[in-house]
Structure 1
Amino acid sequence: MLLLETFVFVVQQQVDGGLNEKEISQQISSEDGRQNPPQTDTLRAEASTDRQQYCDLGIPDIHAALRELTATVTEQKEKNRELTATVTELRDEMNKKNEEISNLTLSQVELRKENRDREIAFSAGLMQSGSGYFGPFTTEITLTYRNVFTNIGNAYNPITGIFTAPLKGAYMFRINVTGRRGIHSSASIYKNGEKVVSGHDEQAQDWLNSSNGVVLILEAGDVVYVRLWSGRRLYDSVNNYNTFSGFLLFPLREDDVCRM
């Protein structure tokens, strides 16, 4: 429309004789410049306007966001390290507790075993059944107390009449000696072939009775038994007048000093 008006204006001027050809060209260029301004300036203005609009919208700075994210990751890593250290500490403590429990259990087992090894005691009577006399004999004989009342630890052998010490320790032994009808009744406790103590009684008639006891320090494997004297006689029945008993008082270490 603007060009049409310009064209009409130019024609009119030519008709009137007011404009030459150069002036007509300048007029058209001027009008065209007003109609189509330079595109470069327009694009710069639009770009500037777009940047301003983005800033006005409040879009965050990417570098600031990255810094914040890095700080968060670093903090999380630190927390993870602390958590890992705590877990490791708890695991170590638990392993230590388990080891203590295991050691305690082993100690208890060893203690129970040691206590079982210390459980040594026996007691036996001369006759298993009936009644009757033993002796006299022309030589000493080892008495076999066959009626076993107690034999904890099985250290006493009712077949041989011999007690064998299973470990070093202090042991208590005791015998009871009974006879009747005027024949002397005498028996002795022996340790490894050596006479230690004796029980002896003699009367012209009726019952004879005596007893004795001793504490002995025995090494493992030492033997203790009772022997009837030569020419002596015992009497026994279901009443168990003649008995042989012994038990461990307490164990001794290998380096303990033995005192007899």
Structure 2
Amino acid sequence: MLTAETTHQGYKPPIYTVLKELGAMEEKLAATIRALEETNKKLEATEKKLSTLNSTVTKVKAVDKGQPRVAFSASLQINGNIGPVNIIYPLVYRNVLSNIGGHYSPHTGYFTAPVRGVYYFAFTSICWASSESSGGSLYKNGKHIVSWYGFSKNHPTSGSNSAILMLQAGDMVNVHLWSKQMISDNENNYSTFSGFLLFPM
């Protein structure tokens, strides 16, 4: 049987329940605020990274926009052989495959650097004649840089080489066939001279 005392002891006014619920809500709100603050910090860090990335892309575009386009590739445009000759013979690659910027001359065989920078050059060769050797060099301003050489007694021989060169504006690069050597080509463009600007300095 409930007495007035026991009933009073077990009774909790509504205000206490409300205050308890408010306390729980405050804890949840505080936790939510902390989570939002952490999210904001991450968003700020991401925004800074994006801003840095955008700045880098803008700078790269500006550099790329100002960089000259320089590239060429050409083959000998012969249907047969050149040589053997008794001199160091400058090769003229007349069949122009590409000449971006127009700095390779199919009339002289020379590439002339338009700007100071780092350039890549490559050349390939084939020699149809058996018992004939094929050799030559890449020249910069008349000075030998790198070479190729091949010899085969019973079948065609081929060769190639490449170089990365630091050039000043006006420097000239071409390919020479060595004395008493032979080089061949046909419509398949086996013997080529190519180059391009890697980056200005």
| CA-CA distance at 1:197 after TM superposition | 0.4
TM-score under structure 1 length normalisation? 0.52
CA shift in 2, pair 1:111/1:250, >3 Å: closer
For 1:195 and 1:112, the matched residues in 2 are separated by 32
1:136-151 to 2 correspondences below 5 Å: 136-151=84-99
Structure 2 Cα separation of the partners of residues 173 and 111 of structure 1 = 23
Q: Does 1:235 align with 2:184?
A: yes
Structure 2 residues without counterparts, runs of 5 or longer: 1-58
Indicate whether 1:125 and 2:75 are aligned: yes
Amino acid at match of 1:243: T
Aligned residue for 2:150? 201
Secondary structure of 1:198's counterpart equals strand
Using the size of structure 2 for normalisation, the TM-score is 0.67
2:162 counterpart (213, 229, 236): 213
Deviations 1:115-148 (A, max 9, x none): 3x2x100000111xx6111011110111000010
1:21-100 alignment runs, 5 A limit:
none
Q: Corresponding residue for 1:114?
A: 66
Q: What is the root-mean-square deviation in Å for CA atoms of aligned residues? A: 1.9
What secondary structure is seen at the aligned counterpart in 1 of 2:136?
strand
Between the two proteins, the alignment pairs up a number of residues equal to 142
**Unaligned runs of at least 5 residues, structure 1:** 1-106, 253-260
Q: Which has the higher helix share?
A: 1
Higher relative contact order (CA 8 A, sep 6+): 2
Higher mean displacement: 156-165 or 180-189:
180-189
User: 1:247 maps to what in 2?
Assistant: 196
CA contact (8 A) 1:172 1:215 kept: yes
Map of 1:169 onto structure 2 = 117
1:191-213 CA-to-partner distances (Å, cap 9, x unmatched) read 01110001110111211001100
Task: Indicate the percent of aligned positions where both proteins have the same amino acid.
Answer: 44
Among candidates 168, 185, 205, match of residue 134 of structure 2: 185
Moved over 3 A (4+): 110-113
Q: Which amino acid aligns with 1:235?
A: S
